[in-house]
Structure 1
Amino acid sequence: MRYNPAEIEHKWQKKWEDDKLFKVEADNSKEKFYCLEMFPYPSGKIHMGHVRNYAIGDVISRFKFMKGFNVIHPMGWDAFGMPAENAAIENKSHPAIWTKSNIAYMKTQLKQLGLSYDWDREIATCDPEYYKWEQLIVIKMFEKGLVYKRTSHLNWCESCQTVLANEQVEDGKCWRCDGEVRIKELDGWYFKITDYAEELLSCTESMDGWPKKVLTMQQNWIGKSFGAEIDFAIENTDEKITVFTTRADTLFGATFMSIAPEHPAAKRLLSGTAQEKDGLVFIEDILKEDKINRMADDKEKKGFFTGKYVMNPLNKRRMPVYIANFVLMDYGTGAVMAVPAHDQRDFEFAKKYDLDIVIAIMPEEQELVPEAMYEAYTGPGRLVDAAQFEGMHNEKAKTEVVEFLAEKGMAKSTVNFRLRDWQISRQRYWGAPIPFINCPKCGTVPVPEDQLPVRLPEDVELSGTGGSPLRKSAAFLNTTCPKCGGAAERETDTMDTFVESSWYFLRYCSPKCETAPFEKNEANYWMPVDQYIGGIEHAILHLLYSRFFTKVLRDLGYINFDEPFKRLLTQGMVCKETYKCEEHGWLFPEEAEGGKCCKCGKSATVGRVEKMSKSKKNVVDPNKLIQQYGADTARLFIIFAAPPENELEWSDQGVEGSFRFLGRVWRLVKNNLELLQQSFGTGGDETFIKEMLYHTHSTIKKVTQDIDKYHLNTAVAALMEFVNFLYKAETRLSADGEKQVFKDALTALLKLLNPFTPHITEELWEEAEMKEILSRSDWPSYVEEYTKTDEVTVVVQINGKVRSQLSLPRDCAQDDAFTAAFLDEKVKGYTDGKEIVKQIFVPNKLINIVVK
């Protein structure tokens, strides 16, 4: 009778695999459902964050299977990346060997969780059969003008020895290794994601299945703003500097210009001047700083005077040009017309360097005096000292000033985006080779399609320093030009690993396709993904890139839809308290038992609850958890402990509680196996039968609706309440009719619980001698009439405060309800002897009595 998960879980995992229970094919006669969790990087072991992500997806997939959908639920490996290369260097092995070994081990771990994956669709992005098609897509993009190479100032991670996209720099550090990032001038390949900026932004308005927070993050990152480009002539030259501004109305107050250290004009303006040497040192120092920190409001404003001036196109004011740390090339044109009276950053800069502050906009009921100002005025007003625009309201002037300058060829209205093109070049080995050849005669030439894939050579020496290891492989580097047949060199940069993850969901649709990246008909049947699940940390990385790639593939004719993911669920992190010893630092939970460090016996301090991480050792090993409690307990706890989108705080007591609950389910069904194997007639206590029907059908309704809304934790809570009721009902059974309804209730329980805990429910289902496998049975339906009781709970408020609750007949008449309320002892205490001012009645819900 004792529940022992070790005896049953492997049995069912093997049966599902042997029977290929979750293998699916496209079927136009069935409604499809594509459920997908973000695929893992094969680091070596799964962690509890993986378990949570995949358990959520598995509940949804199994539920949809039982609801009759044709469900595709694939799994694969995001297998390229720097950690594999670094591990290979450290362990003197090869990244491919390290990666494939990790994949094999992690695949075993995932199977131990009983996840309903169609393993026949498995992919690994490091396989040439995968990246061959990625290289083809990149060539097609190049032919469309969506891929180009240029020299620019790029984010460089010294630790990883590679370039990073802007989105991969977090607070000045590398997203992968947390190492410091500096700016370095390098050649690099780019995707023209900016060509899709407008569409990427506008589509967010109709993406109802995505969390608002993620959409807002993408909208802010794309950063659309309306304004104007205005030309400022450089004094005594034929050159000009163009600025982008949303505040053309303040142009009369512009007193100097600030340009980014990365601006092409910065070094040119310094050239040949007495301050050139110091200026170049200033530029180099600023480029070492994090871009985000440079823009921070509390960051000290630093500038360097170039010795040159530009002319204000409106009033011909001579404006000194400064190189400033707070101006970035990533926004606008990398040059800013500085209006210290009406911009706080400019104000602080002007105060520091004793530059002119000129009022351009005067508020209606205030007289601004530059010498008396302690901050910039950014509100509305009318233009002053503004020639023909004198007295004009500043909102109107935004348009009028631009139109005036446009007639003179000195300005134009424009739209600016914060989004910059995606830099995909990486100076590492373990990535997909960029499929181009550099010919001294023909320039950049794509690798011919019949020569794809450009394979990574296996005999490359890896050191982790000195740029791309592929440059050291003569066999890889040296080739012939496909156009002229002359000597040429292969591109030695590899692709950002986010390229692989930007289309993998499409390859799952037909992973064995040998003629194209995927079968078009298959992709158009399965896609878009109906439910995508993963971390919010990818909001402006993977999720934005995937949307871009989908639109590109649509325009290349591969697919006929616009967005990759209909619904997105961003699961919360798994957190746990930390433990620390003064002598030994962070401790694993098992090293701090009884409040003592097991290494030295000193006190172990309990720290904050934080995201589980290897560095702080506040981790739980899924393997140990499964060995001790079973996969069903791990799944149930991690689903029940918190709503999917919230952080989950680990609780050993919660795990124990989940295990005990499954033990109760086990005993309840085992005790009634004989009953489950029989058929019964009718008859019995109608009230009791009605009560059982109510609990059964209301639970089916609650669990069904909660899973549909992804309120998975409350669905589990409803099942726990249902089990409590069934234990009580079990003791009252006598007549055949009662036993039949109880049998139906047990059957419904196993079906409802199956998506959450598939092993235990399959075993009990089989022992009950049911004909079909439970995972392929139909989801139970409910009768709406049975979900209603004859009595309802009505809340009684006195002056808006809850004072009592009444059990009343459903649809009780208003007069009868108030009679019952005034007879209630609790209500009497607040109403006896008092004047009744008002009586409010909401049928079946509320009584509110207002008294003086």
Structure 2
Amino acid sequence: MDEKYFAKKVEAKWQKKWAESGAFAVTDDTSRPKFYQLEMLPYPSGNLHMGHVRNYSVGDALAWFKRLKGFNVLHPIGWDSFGQPAEDAAVKRGVNPRDWTEDNIVAMRGQLKRLGLSYDWTREIAAHRPEYYKWDQWFFLKMFERGLAYKKKTQVNWCENDQATLSNEQASGGLCWRCGNPVTKKELEQWFLKTTAYADQLLDDLKIIESGWPVHVIKRQRDWIGRSEGALLDFKIVGSDQSVRIFTTRIDTIYGASSIVLAPEHPIVLANRRKFAPEVVEKIDHIIVEKAKPVEHDAEIEKDGVDTGLRATNPFSGEDLPVWVGNYVMMDYGTGAVMSVPAHDERDFEFAKRFGLPVRQVISEPHMVHEHNSVHALALEAPLTEYGVLVHSDVWSGKASEDAKREMTAFAQKQGFGEAATTYRLRDWGISRQRFWGSPIPIVYCDGCGTVPVPIDKLPVELPENAPITGTGESPLAKVEEFVQTTCPQCSAPASRETDTMDTFVDSSWYFFRYLDPKNSEEAFGPEKAAYWTPVDQYIGGDDHAVMHLIYARFWTKVMRDLGLVAFGEPFDRLLTQGMVVGETFYDDSTGKRKYFPPNQVEVERDAKGRIISAKGVDGSDLKFAIERMSKSKGNGVDPDEMVDIYGADASRMFVLFAAPVDNELVWQEAGIEGAVRFLQRVWRLVYKWREVLVPILSQERKDPATSIAGSAAAKKLLQKTHQTIKRVDEALTTLQFNTPIAALMEFTNAIYESQLEPASSNDAEKAAMSEAISCLVRMLTPFAPHTAEELYSFITGSDSGMIADGARFPEFNSDLAAADEIEIAVQVNGKLRSRVFAAPSASNEEIERLALADMKISENIAGKHILKVIVVPGRLVNVVVRG
């Protein structure tokens, strides 16, 4: 064992040993409990960033912990390797997307291995390889057979910048999810997957996983699926045979409707466009343009609109209402039309206030019914959105909202102008992409036979080696004649292939099943393997995928269940969303445009807690500063390779785990990683100092530590701290805390040093206690710094084969040794804290009461007073109630 800690030497040694021994390759073993640990697979862009390092360090720590707890751990990795950036590279660099992708995989695989992540590399997959996307196509054909895959001409979300279609999720907020540019609408023939067929299941089954998923992710999924129970109602357009169908969840407010508001793309608007005044048409076009402009996330958009001049009849009151176009009504949500009830809806209230539309109160709080039933509320300061009692609503006045909703819906259905309905915000998933670098859609078009699926035994439909990629216009595949021209599988006549490729979210919707059986050429995976390994026990990734990826993966799993491939419908038992890694940025915006300065060109003044007080450039100029997501362009990016070169993989990983709770943002500060290095050096020196004592003791048959501490207070104290730390670290990792167990190990290391025990002067009990402490420390260190732990463990056990081969286990705490000698108990007099006493954890209530009453401060406080009662809360407090 070297006297000094050389991170590079140790890490290179153990990475080589792990690779040569296949340390992390696992097989199905039904005799052992399994644990499937999964992090979201990366896109092979060519470089890892610190967000990757954090994500994968968290997952690796948990994988190590579960191995040490005796689980058969599956911890795989692969590549989400289809996608637009490869085509961008083809345009910008003149390279083949396939070559660019493979080169990036080589580079990033090397980075992951340098971090020493414990992946089973024998299961590595890549979405762009035919042996993988063959099964994308197989699943597509199975969905086609079941009517879950279909093609229709529709208005799609279109990104002009990327020249690509987008799903609703990818165009959320009117912006392209990838490039951030405005999304417009375009008529195209597109393939869809019928996610709406599973809308109820996707919503209802959230109750199965909500205990293991973050609350905010569950909420976003519920909101996105957006199930609403209500009624569909027809408002007849005056003077025509047209009707506007609206969906409302609040039919009880219909007598308060003051207008109908349509989306600018609504069919009624398009059908009557020629009848509108020129200024109305101009305003509608303006609204369309403004809606397409990018806006800040969650920014409030001022309500805007125009009266079209059309009128629609309220089917309940018979009143003719003005028909407006409004910028807050979306064509792809509900029916693209709303009845505006300003008194009882916040958006409608804002709209009415701006344009002077009537505000009619038709719902009242029960205790205000008399007042509201006699006076219209024309001057409400805010809408009343809660349920209540109907007023000014004809025969329904005086009825509770819930009762009125049922009766009014039944009345509308009986009269033929409405019906009960359930609507969803969720829309079918448009998977067609006008791209080369994606999985080809296995469909052939024949003049005689129509749309024909490629036979399953002819899969995969492979991408050609090359295609003319320009980044604009139709799919590059359409320009590859030898790909397009084929024969019909049914009649053998000349036919043409589909030239759209699949959305890359198809690849990531089921990849975690392919890890189970990656070499299988006959099936996507063996069902018996799925029965053992899945569902995934722990999934880790950013919450930016809370809607798209996770909804699609849940949908796909339910389809696989219905195909008989798995016995469950939810793919991930537990989900952890780690926070972003952010960094300090320094900039000057005095010219109106930000100019960023790298940290080495900035003089920073900080307070005692390390927070920035001021920043100056090298020329003395004042700079502004902020904490922002890491980016090379902002000068706050950190290269993981550079950190590993300077500090080592273990210190880099330990820092990202220790610096902040895993679900919080992590502010990168290099001083923190230096602290991790110093801690590892302290542990190393500790083992080196005790090296001659540890090996002979730990190589002997292990004894119960409780039998080896008789007569030694130092040994007892050290063992007590050891087992208290085991308990803390075990509980923290079990509950997915990663910073607190590292803090506990640092505290434990300090306690070992503070024991002031020395190898030469310690007795046998103290040596045994120290050996126990160091052995436990090293094993508990493994999830956070595995290379260092492996090296130290191999030395102290006298074995160079490592933890995995030796079957090392996470230490088990002894509850008797972990128990505190004394506990602190607060003592109150009449509910006010007056003192504290100390008692044994096993002390009875009577003993605790005697200690409290005998305390000098308490005696002074109750002197001359009558004790009414003494309340003892075991282990926590005593309250002495007195009078006089």
- TM-score, normalised to structure 2, is 0.90
Q: Which residue number in structure 2 is paired with residue 175 of structure 1?
A: 177
Q: 1:699 aligns with which of 725, 731, 742?
A: 725
Q: Is the 8 A contact 1:578 1:608 kept in 2?
A: yes
Letter of the 1:773 partner, please give it: G
1:120-145 deviation line (CA, Å, top 9, x unaligned): 00011111111111011011111111
Which one of 400, 403, 409 corresponds to residue 402 of structure 1?
409
Whether 2:789 is the aligned partner of 1:782: answer: no
2:838 alignment counterpart: 807
- Alignment-derived partner of residue 643 in structure 1: 661
Code of the residue aligned with 1:752 in structure 2: it is M
CA 1:484–1:264: 2 relative to 1, 3 Å: farther
Helix, strand or coil for the counterpart of 2:445?
Answer: strand
Q: Give 1:167 shift.
A: 1.5
Are the structure 2 counterparts of residues 673 and 820 from structure 1 closer, same or farther at C-alpha, using a change threshold of 3 Å? same
Deviations 1:399-426 (A, max 9, x none): 1111112112221111111111112222
What corresponds to 1:590 in structure 2?
600
Residue aligning to 1:268? 271
Cα distance in structure 2, aligned partners of 1:83 and 1:798:
70
Counterpart contact for 1:579–1:604, Cα < 8 Å: no
Separation in structure 2 between the aligned mates of residue 829 and residue 573 of structure 1, nearest angstrom = 55
Q: Which of 405-414 and 308-317 deviates more?
A: 308-317
* Rounded Cα–Cα distance in structure 2 between residues aligned with 1:607 and 1:153: 44
* 1:569 corresponds to: 576
Give yes or no for contact 1:818–1:847 (8 Å, CA) kept in 2.
Answer: yes
Once the two structures are TM-superposed, the CA of residue 216 in structure 1 deviates from its matched residue by 1.1
In structure 1, C-alpha distance between the alignment counterparts of 2:399 and 2:829, rounded to whole Å? 59
Aligned residue number for residue 299 of structure 1: 301
**How has the CA–CA distance of structure 1 residues 265 and 19 changed in structure 2, closer, same or farther, with 3 Å as cutoff?**
same
Distance 1:109 1:379, change over 3 A: closer
Q: Note closer, same or farther for the CA distance 1:719–1:347 as it changes in structure 2 (3 Å cut).
A: closer
Shift of 1:580: 2.2
- Aligned pair partner of 2:76 in 46, 49, 74: 74
- Distance change >3 Å, CA 234–CA 292, structure 1 → 2: farther
Partner of 1:512: 519
Tell me if the contact between 1:684 and 1:736 (Cα under 8 Å) persists in the aligned partners.
no
Task: Find the counterpart in structure 2 of residue 525 from structure 1.
Answer: 532
Q: TM-score by structure 1 length?
A: 0.93
Match of 1:758 in 2: 786
Partners in 1 of 2:776 and 2:25 — Cα distance?
Answer: 26
Contact 2:431 2:502 in 1 (8 A): yes
AA aligned opposite 1:729: S
Q: Secondary structure at the match of 1:678?
A: helix
CA–CA distance in structure 2, aligned partners of residues 850 and 609 of structure 1: 52
Q: Structure 2 CA distance, aligned partners of 1:188 and 1:474? A: 21
- Match for residue 226 of structure 1? 229
Following TM superposition, by how much is the alpha carbon of 1:380 offset from its aligned partner in structure 2, in angstroms? 4.7
> Taking structure 1 as reference, are residues 341 and 727 closer, same or farther at Cα in structure 2, changes over 3 Å only?
closer
1:294–1:325 CA contact under 8 A, matched in 2: no
Which residue, 536, 541, 544 being the options, matches 1:534? 541
Is the CA contact 2:180–2:294 (under 8 Å) kept in the aligned structure 1? no
SS at 2:506 equivalent: helix
User: 2:541 is matched by which residue type in structure 1?
Assistant: G
1:194-209 alignment, distance < 5 Å: 194-207=196-209, 208-209=211-212
Identical residues among aligned pairs (%): 46
Q: Does the 8 Å contact 1:218/1:544 carry over to 2? A: yes
1:665 aligns with 2:672: no
RMSD value over aligned CA atoms? 2.9
CA distance in 2, matches of 1:342, 1:707: 48
**Secondary structure, counterpart of 1:676 in structure 2:** helix
Q: How many residues align?
A: 851
1:213 counterpart (213, 216, 222): 216
Q: 2:253 — aligned with what?
A: 250
Change (3 A) 1:185 1:282: farther
Q: Distance in 1 between matches of 2:266 and 2:35?
A: 50
Contact conserved, 2:617 with 2:623, CA < 8 A, in 1? Answer: no
Distance (Å, rounded) in 1 between the aligned partners of 2:426 and 2:328: 18
Out of 410, 413, 434, which is 2:420 matched to?
413
Q: Distance in 2 between matches of 1:622 and 1:727?
A: 32
Match in the other structure for 1:104: 106
1: distance between equivalents of 2:276 and 2:838?
Answer: 91
Pairing partner for 1:627 from 623, 645, 653: 645
> Per the alignment, do residues 737 and 387 of structure 1 end up closer, same or farther by CA in structure 2, a change over 3 Å counting?
closer
Distance 1:684 1:388, change over 3 A: closer
- Contact residue 279 and residue 304 of structure 1 kept, 8 A: no
**Cα gap change, 1:353 to 1:644, in 2 (>3 Å):** closer
Distance in 2 of aligned mates of 1:247 and 1:297: 26
Q: How far off is 1:806 after superposition?
A: 3.5
Distance 1:594 1:211 in 2: 37
Distance verdict in 2 for CA 1:638–1:381, change over 3 Å: closer
Alignment partners' CA distance in 2, 1:169 and 1:51: 29
Mapping 1:144-155, distance limit 5 Å:
144-155=146-157
Instruction: In structure 2, give the amino acid aligned to 1:262.
Output: E
Alignment of 1:369-384 (within 5 A): 369=376, 371-373=378-380, 375-380=382-387, 382-384=389-391
Q: Which residue of 2 aligns with 1:31?
A: 33
Any gaps of 5 or more consecutive residues in structure 1? Answer: none
Aligned mates of 1:55, 1:651 — CA distance in 2: 17
Instruction: Check if 1:558 corresponds to 2:565.
Output: yes
- How many angstroms apart in 1 are the aligned matches of 2:487 and 2:649? 55
In the alignment, is residue 455 of structure 1 matched against residue 462 of structure 2? yes
The CA distance in 2 between the partners of 1:104 and 1:20, in whole Å, is 19
Cα displacement (A) at 1:508: 0.5
Q: Separation in 2 of the partners of 1:345 and 1:768?
A: 69
Give the letter aligned to residue 54 of structure 1: Y
Between the aligned partners of 1:178 and 1:380, the Cα distance in structure 2 is 39
Cα distance in 1 between the residues matched to 2:30 and 2:298 = 54
The one-letter code matched in structure 1 to 2:43 is: Y
Q: CA deviation at 1:535?
A: 0.7
1:377 CA displacement:
4.3
- Quote the Cα distance in structure 1 between the aligned partners of 2:470 and 2:308: 42
> Is the partner of 1:289 in helix, strand or coil?
helix
Does residue 746 of structure 2 align to residue 739 of structure 1? Answer: no
Inter-partner Cα distance in structure 1 for 2:354 and 2:645 = 65
Correspondent of 2:737 among 711, 735, 740: 711
- Kindly tell me: are residues 653 and 839 of structure 1, through their superposed partners in 2, closer, same or farther at Cα, counting changes over 3 Å? farther
CA deviation after TM superposition for structure 1 residue 269, in Å: 2.9
* Partner secondary structure for residue 133 of structure 1: helix
- Distance in 1 separating the partners of 2:352 and 2:731: 61
Matching of residues 460-479 of structure 1 within 5 Å: 460-479=467-486
8 Å contact kept, 2:360–2:378: no
Task: Report Cα offsets for 1:487-523 as digits up to 9, x if no partner.
Answer: 4332222221111111000100101110121111112
Seen in structure 2, the aligned counterparts of structure 1 residues 384 and 698 have a Cα distance that, compared at 3 Å, is: closer
What's the CA shift string for 1:802-851, capped at 9, x where partnerless?
56543333333556545655666766786678887764433333234567
Cα-to-partner distance string for 1:62-117 (whole Å, 9 max, x where unaligned): 11111111110000011111122112211111221111111111111111111110
Task: Give the secondary-structure state (helix, strand or coil) at the position aligned to 1:258.
Answer: strand
Q: Deviations over 1:187-206 (max 9, x none)?
A: 32211111111111111112
Where 1:210 maps in the other structure, the secondary structure is coil
- C-alpha change, 1:246 and 1:675, in structure 2 (3 Å) is same
Structure 1 match to 2:127: 125
Moved more, 208-217 or 810-819: 810-819
**Corresponding residue SS for 1:806:** strand
